[in-house]
Structure 1
């Protein structure tokens, strides 16, 4: 396991970290490990391009369904005649 030292941490931040760790019932060191795990797991589990586009479109449309235009009848198949032309 690697070791990490954090220097020049604000006293206020250290105090809030201590309170948060106490609230979760573990040490400040474990709290920092939990925070780092949560922050970095999100990066590994990013959605693919299609999911990100889908999420973006849902946000732009307010999550509603898009209206599709009415379909028309398909055009008839070409008639090449008996000789294939």
Structure 2
């Protein structure tokens, strides 16, 4: 992933079915991840990617997006804490 616009262009808000944030236990730290479902395809991202800030800003424009996803995911530490931030119904 090297181009924010190219990646975000492949994630049109009108086609996103679900956005799920979760953590992976990396032994001494947690890695926050995001799964974006679009038409049966799953895109995965993590907080260490250069595009992370642009991605989360883009996704936050979804109607009814759960803006408190971060707080729900980070505590308690070393638990998956899967959190659905958006789901199209």
TM-score (norm 2): 0.22
Could you say which structure has the higher strand fraction? 2
Higher RCO (C-alpha under 8 Å, 6+ residues apart): 2
